A and B are shown apart, each in its own frame.
Chain A
Amino acid sequence: MNAALRKMGGLLSVYYAYMTAYRAELILWALANSLPFILMGAWYQAAAGGAFGFTPVDVTRYFLAVFVIRQLTVVWVIWEFDQDVQRGRLSQYLLQPVDPVWRYLAAHLSERVARLPFSALIIALFFLIFPPARFVPHASDVLLAITFATLAFALRFVMQYTLALFALWTERASSLESLMFILYLVLSGAIAPLEVFPPELRELVMWTPFPYFIWVPARLLIGGADVDLMRATVVCVSWIGSLLVVNRVVWRLGLKRHSSMGA
């Protein structure tokens, strides 16, 4: 256990150094997730017209929460893995006694820590420009939101890493993520809160992994009383568990294929 912790500590420390070597890029990465602010403008107008049950300030806070959750849960492992397969870096990782997944995980977690100050700066600027959006969430809401954001990150990472492993057959799996990203945008609550969906559709969507990526943690952050915590936990953990099993099977098969076709 101590050896594993030391290993992860070493990975996190070096990858944090790696991430902070790109200061300018960190700001750009944080800004690149500003889609919620753009959508906020559109939905703000709709809410002002009384088109659905949100007030303009509700809309503003929701999309601000979406921005925060996206900052905490962004995953890019599929592009990294594609590159590593194509450029032969994966072979070098395979020569070391640690599963490459820990490198990718350490890179993501370190990036999160490095990105945090820039994300906070963007939020502070937003509050400065638009004072009505200011709000202080309850500590219990923050705790719940962080818990579900952590689950959201784990789910998104496992799902994308499982898709990434198909690069061991095709050398390019990122196109699978492009397809998945459409579902992610529509069903996660990234472009509209799930409250605008017809109830039957929303019920169906709640059994898929997508609402747990953004909508659940974002609603919890702004005090979402209508989130069924028990179901959210069970569905989210079940998806993570199932995908982990699939991931390990695909990894073993992919490695066999990779080693027979040319590492």
Chain B
Amino acid sequence: MAEAGAPIIEAIGLTKTFKVAQKPPGFAASVRHFFKRTYKEIPAVTDVSFTIRPGEMVGFLGANGAGKTTTLKMLTGLLHPTAGRCVVDGREPFARTRDFLSAITLVMGNKQQLLWDLPARDTLRLNAAIYGISDADYKSRVDELSGMLELTDKLDQPVRKLSLGERMKAELLASLLHGPKVLFLDEPTLGLDVNAQVAVRAFLRRYNERTGATILMTSHYMADITALCSRVLVIHEGKLVHDGELAALLRRFGTRRELRVELSHAVDDAKLRTLGEVLSHEGNVARLAVEPAALVAVVGRALAELPVVDLTVHDPPIEEVVGRVIGKSQRALPNVVGAEQGA
């Protein structure tokens, strides 16, 4: 258990290198590969260090293959670091002690623990038995969490009959039944529609407020991060390139909003350029990047000056923000992590 005031998650020079078999294409290469394998060392995570205090909600951003999931797997004890070490809730994860496993949970948006052909309640009963939860605690926790997740009337339906959003909520319920102190969430809103995303975010915020649980989450949706996390870690090609306040990150790198307009007939690019940077313009649909301070005025001008059929405003895609951070970090990598930590 972590001492009072001590970080609940601590990564110190965390490094993971995978040995991957290499096979060039072609018949001869296949034959050679059959008799003699050649391996290449792929660095997935390199010298990543950070600490997270109890109760913090931290976003973990990076492109596909940047090393987010590998880091989460090291922090949950599924992967053994090649170098460096990590401590979660005062314990070394890879020892996988009962106390450690009872203190954490890992929810992966693309994997499910629910038994597909049975009602979610059966998985909950299974987890209650596995974690040694008493009948009274089981009942009160299921009532509380299913209420928060608005899932009470869905628990007795077979999982396969639930919508994607309901399944994710049930996954969260199953993963949180044992009352973990540390939640590792890997793309928890992956593939969900907007309403389901909003519901999951609202639940996570309330759960954090009620229990004081620490949350480290990855997401491809900027809205997840902006709604929940005050601090973000950005990882690129296995290296931590930003650790700091989300607001500071957005001020520096991601202030622009994306304006999507659908027009009744085509207009010139030149006309669109007077409103903002044209990100794309295909047929009657255009995407513009607009500074937040100018957003209201630009929307007004667009409605007045363009033949608008539909207009929506979005957060910048997470890749764009990450891309800007990476662009910056590649120019001044040694300073970015330290500078932002102090921000």
Q: Give B179-218 interface residues, CB cut-off 8 Å to A.
A: none
Given contacts A97-B102, A97-B130, contact A18 B122 (CB under 8 A): yes
Task: Judge if B73 is at the interface, Cβ distance under 8 Å.
Answer: yes
Please give, as numbers and ranges, the residues of chain A lying within 8 Å of B128 by CB-CB distance: 10
Contact of B79 with A92 in the complex, beta carbons under 8 Å: no
- CB–CB B101/A97 < 8 A: yes
Write the nearest CB–CB distance from A168 to chain B, whole angstroms: 13
| Interface range for A | 20 to 34
B3 CB, min distance to chain A CBs, angstroms: 23
Contact at B101–A14, with CB atoms within 8 Å?
no
Q: A98 on the interface (CB 8 Å rule)? A: yes
Q: Which residues of B contact A256 (CB under 8 A)?
A: 80
Q: How far is the CB of B123 from chain A (nearest CB, A)?
A: 8
Distance to closest chain B CB from A95 (angstroms): 6
Q: Tell yes or no: A91 within 8 A of B by CB.
A: yes
Question: Who on chain A is nearest to B74 by CB?
Answer: A259
In the complex, what distance in Å separates the CA atom of A22 from the CA atom of B101?
A: 32
Verify if A9 is at the interface (C-beta below 8 Å from B). yes
- Which residues of A from 74 to 107 have beta carbons under 8 Å from B? 88-89, 91-92, 94-98
Nearest to B76 among chain A residues (CB) is A95
A197 to chain B, nearest CB (A): 38
**How far does the alpha carbon of A96 sit from the alpha carbon of B101 in the complex, in Å?**
6
Task: Determine if A10 and B129 form an interchain contact, defined as CB atoms under 8 angstroms apart.
Answer: yes
With A17-B118, A97-B98 already in contact, the answer to whether A259 and B78 are too (CB < 8 A) is yes
A6, B111: Cβ atoms closer than 8 Å: no
Scan residues 112-130 of chain B and give those whose CB is less than 8 A from a CB of chain A. 113, 115, 117-118, 122-123, 125-130
Distance of A82 Cα from B198 Cα, bound (Å) = 37
User: Which A residues are CB-close (under 8 A) to B130?
Assistant: 7, 10-11, 96-98
B106, CB-defined interface residue at 8 Å: yes
Answer yes or no: A260 CB below 8 A from chain B CBs: yes
A residues touching B (Cβ–Cβ < 8 Å)?
3, 6-7, 9-11, 13-14, 17-18, 21-22, 88-89, 91-92, 94-98, 256, 259-263
Chain B: how many interface residues by the 8 Å CB criterion? 32
Whole-angstrom distance from the CB of B116 to the nearest CB of chain A?
9
| The residue from A7, A14, A89, A259 contacting B122, defined by CB atoms under 8 A apart | A14
How near does chain B come to A175, taking the closest CB pair, in angstroms?
15
Chain A residue contacts of B111, Cβ below 8 A: 88-89, 91-92
Nearest opposing residue in chain A for B17, CB measure: A260
A14-B115, A22-B117 known, 20 other contacts, Cβ within 8 Å: A7-B129, A7-B130, A10-B126, A11-B126, A14-B122, A17-B122, A21-B117, A91-B73, A91-B78, A91-B111, A94-B77, A96-B131, A97-B98, A97-B131, A259-B78, A261-B19, A262-B18, A262-B79, A263-B73, A263-B78
Show 18 residue pairs from A and B whose CB-CB distance is below 8 angstroms, ordered by the A residue: A10-B128, A11-B126, A13-B125, A17-B118, A17-B122, A18-B117, A21-B118, A89-B111, A91-B73, A91-B111, A92-B111, A95-B76, A95-B106, A97-B130, A260-B82, A263-B73, A263-B78, A263-B79
Interface residue? B105 (CB, 8 A): yes
| Contact yes or no, A94 B129, CB < 8 A | no
In the complex, A14→B131 CA distance in Å?
Answer: 15
B94 in the interface (beta carbon within 8 A): yes
